[in-house]
Amino acid sequence: MSRYDEAKKLYADLGVDTEKALNTLKDVTISVHCWQGDDVVGFDSKESLSGGIQTTGNYPGKASTPAELMSDLDKAFSLVPGKKKLNLHACYAIFDGDFADRDALQPKHFQKWVDYAKDRGMGIDFNPTYFSHPMVKDGLTLSSPDDEVRAFWVKHGIQCLKISEYFANETGIPCVMNIWIPDGYKDIPADRYSPRARFKKSLDEILSTPYDKSKVYVTLESKVFGIGLESYTVGSAEFTLSYSTKNGITPLMDNGHYHPTELVSDKIASLLLFNEKIALHVTRGVRWDSDHVVLYDDETKEIAKEIVAHDALDRVFIATDYFDASINRISAWVTGLRNVQKALLNALLTPHDKMKELQKDGKFTDLMVMQEDIKTAPFGDIWAEYLAREGIKADYLAEIKEYEEKVLVKRV
Ligand code: RNT
Ligand code: ZN
């Protein structure tokens, strides 16, 4: 008997159908953040990364042209099982001598990305880029008191909506457009109200542009603090949740954007009760929103469990969001993406109904024993079977090292 067949039997004894789990997982789409490949730099400006986020490390071989980034993405995609979507930021516009500033971006500046995605049968998600740009004034964009600055960024949002609709039309797959602004203050503000009021007004202005809501899902991402923005962020959790539910858009939770003892896994159920869809940025914060590579750790598993246990795979937009420049960037992509998939598989291999029943009946002794027992079930054999069925090699390091030697280290 193969290791998979044995594992299948053991899981069946626990009440879990491994075939069903494998079939479900292969249809789950993960939106892959393009910005791991070049340390969140993009192609439209020479400004250094701003907005209170930071990439550290200087590993050789970062992509600095569209061709390089596409090639690196291909390498990463080839080593990751399952369905993928490409997640782009507006700063990844590709200009052919027709530079346009952020407030004037057009669908044509993303045509090469559309060709790329279509060739690979993928959809595209999108993010307006409200950082690393001279029009970020005093750390503010959509909440700026300067009318010119605020108008510039409103226009950017509107153009991005048009580009998102273009992506959906071209690929035939809906586009998730995520709005995140870095706006905030380093020190104690005198007025916490007015910046949020201006942010609200700006969002209203952007979203008053007609767009097809069956093709573009607008999400709004909250944050608790950023580097240099420690005391106040305009787009706080309360703001983004209230705005989203009131205006029929989708809230996005990034699990690096809360106080360290606050867990996104605990928030998912509440959001599912009040929203048709929710969105996630899966990341790993170490002591702060450090955007480390996602591991197969407790919180990643718990997040996956919350999605699967409540039968919400079709209601949650799952995207990755991390950037590590201290290790091979392709390995960073592959490791993190595989770990999200592992966490989902682990959740699909958990007898949730049985365990919910134990909780309902107050059988907490039995529940704890079962929760602990399942941890030593032969998960690795099912994962190996998944990779094999997807035609993906288990060992990815050797291939990445070869690519590093042949391609990455030769880049200047
Ligand atoms: C920043 C947010 C945001 C960015 C990307 C690049 O803290 O998490 O999602 O990481 O837009
Ligand atoms: Zn994020």
Residue nearest to atom 5 of ligand 1 (CA): 321
Residue 27: pLDDT above 90?
yes
Looking at ligand 1, which atom is closest to the CA of residue 283? 8
CA 128 to ligand 1 center in whole angstroms:
11
CA 166 to ligand 2 center in whole angstroms:
23
For 88-138, how does the pLDDT look when each residue is reduced to its tens digit (9 = 90+)?
999 999 999 999 999 999 999 999 999 999 999 999 999 999 999 999 999
Q: What is the percentage of the chain residues whose pLDDT exceeds 70?
A: 100
Q: Please give the Cα distance from 173 to 122 (Å, whole number).
A: 8
Residue among 251, 246, 160 at smallest CA distance from 211? 160
For 46-82, how does the pLDDT look when each residue is reduced to its tens digit (9 = 90+)?
888 999 999 999 999 999 999 999 999 999 999 999 9
CA 303 to ligand 1 center in whole angstroms:
19
For 226-279, how does the pLDDT look when each residue is reduced to its tens digit (9 = 90+)?
999 999 999 999 999 999 999 999 999 999 999 999 999 999 999 999 999 999
For residue 281, the ligand closest to its alpha carbon is 2
Residue 258 confidence (pLDDT): 98
Residue 409 confidence (pLDDT): 97
Q: Please give the Cα distance from 21 to 348 (Å, whole number).
A: 5
Looking at ligand 1, which atom is closest to the CA of residue 323? 10
User: Is the Cβ–Cβ distance between 319 and 278 less than 8 Å?
Assistant: no
352 burial via Cβ count (<10 Å: 0-12, 13-18, 19+): middle
Residue 46 confidence (pLDDT): 83
CB count within 10 Å of CB 361 equals 10
Q: Evaluate: CB of 53 within 6 angstroms of ligand 1.
A: yes
Residue 45 confidence (pLDDT): 86
First to last CA, the chain: 51
Residue among 182, 204, 183, 313 at smallest CA distance from 249? 204
Q: Evaluate: CB of 322 within 6 angstroms of ligand 1.
A: no
pTM: 0.98
Please choose from 39, 178, 180 the residue to mutate so as to test ligand 1's pocket, defined by most ligand atoms within 8 A of CB: 180
Assign 198 a pLDDT band (cuts: 50, 70, 90).
very high
Residue 283: pLDDT above 90?
yes
Q: Evaluate: CB of 88 within 6 angstroms of ligand 1.
A: no
Residue 408: pLDDT above 90?
yes
CATH superfamily of 28-348: Divalent-metal-dependent TIM barrel enzymes (3.20.20.150)
Q: Evaluate: CB of 289 within 6 angstroms of ligand 1.
A: yes
Q: Evaluate: CB of 180 within 6 angstroms of ligand 1.
A: yes
Residue 221: pLDDT above 90?
yes
User: Is the Cβ–Cβ distance between 139 and 229 less than 8 Å?
Assistant: yes
Residue nearest to atom 2 of ligand 1 (CA): 180
Looking at ligand 1, which atom is closest to the CA of residue 289? 7
Instruction: Please compute, for residue 304, the number of CA atoms within 13 A of its CA located in the half-sphere on the CB side.
Output: 27
The residues annotated with a catalytic role in the active site are: 180, 221, 223, 254, 257, 281, 289, 291, 321
Residue 314: pLDDT above 90?
yes
Please choose from 176, 254, 258 the residue to mutate so as to test ligand 1's pocket, defined by most ligand atoms within 8 A of CB: 254
Q: Evaluate: CB of 183 within 6 angstroms of ligand 1.
A: no
Residue among 116, 110, 115 at smallest CA distance from 95? 110
